[in-house]
Amino acid sequence: MRYPFKSKLSPKFEEFVAIRIASGQWNTSYDYNLHHFDKYIAANYPSYEELTVEMLDWCKRRETEKNNTCISRTTPIRNFLKYANKRGWSTLNPLPLPTFEANSYIPHFFTQYELTAFFKECDSYVMRSYQERRHITTLLNRLQLPVYFRLLYSSGMRTCEVRWLKCSNVNFESGIVKIIKSKSIDEHGIVLHDSMLQLLQHYNQAMERIMPNRIYLFPDKEDEPHKVRWGCTFFKKIWSKVSDEKAVEYDLRSLYAVSNISKWENHGYELSGKLLFLSRSMGHRNIQSTFGYFHLTPMLTDKLKRNCAKKFNELLPQTPAYNEENI
């Protein structure tokens, strides 16, 4: 369910969003930030029907904000301003863009003990929550979170791909999952491990009793996909019971990539075939994105460096920083 805009610019925001959704250029992060901008306008410029320079002060980098965070927060407003100028709604100059700060994101390396402890805590955490507050939201969390995090861990899917999965995208007999809505290639598929498929079958049967004929695999109480904060918040709460080390739910995807790549050293491999398969299963647009994970597997990095010395730095980009656009 999409929430309505509140300011006098609402009709223009709605038109802009409709165009972006139709062209597949919209996501929950954009929607969240444009709504916050709309609330700012409604509160401070309640009678204004046009954009003004003063309104755009909202887009200035905040003292506690990094450049990349500012870019992510203001991207939908920048795009709306471009659209408004083309439609003749505005003549304001484009907003200056903060300098992008390249950084190397180093995911947390989960030990087997940490993984076991995390999933054990996940199972008991949601059970405790349900016993304390027995209503539909906690019931859904009790059923969904243990399966959601195990699916991230076993499949290498992005968090947004899992949250946006529809039941119709999952074959509960064969274990084939079609990923239609993603940040990269238009469509790709994965095959679930037998144990994950069995768990998903039991989960789906339980969900059917609570929400018959639901649309989404992991819905909220309105049968809409969860917001990004849902997974982030619960991962943080559960992980804090296990370790003081810094980790985010995206690290489960990184673990999937590194675990697969690490196996190639011991078993022998044809780099092109296995790497292409991994790249496609993870939904990467190009193989260079998959090469980024080689930085996290020292033995294979050394091997690749020996074989491709001149092209090494081109082949191995930095691992992308964690944000909603990368997941």
| CATH code that applies to domain 112-239 | 1.10.443.10
Contact partners, residue 298, CB within 8 Å, separation at least 6 = none
Supply the pLDDT for residue 55.
Answer: 95
Are the C-beta atoms of residues 110 and 118 closer than 8 Å to each other? yes
The domain limits of the chain are 10-87, 112-239, 250-315
Which range, 7-21, 97-111, 152-166, 310-324, has the best average confidence (pLDDT)? 7-21
b/e burial code for range 218-248 (CB count within 10 A of at least 16 → b): bbbeeeebbebebbbebbeebbeebeeeebb
Cβ contact 200:300 at 8 Å: no
Residue 182 has what pLDDT? 54
161-193: per-residue pLDDT in tens? 899 999 999 999 999 998 876 555 556 788 898
pLDDT digits (tens, 9 = 90+) for 278-308: 666 666 555 556 555 655 555 444 544 444 4
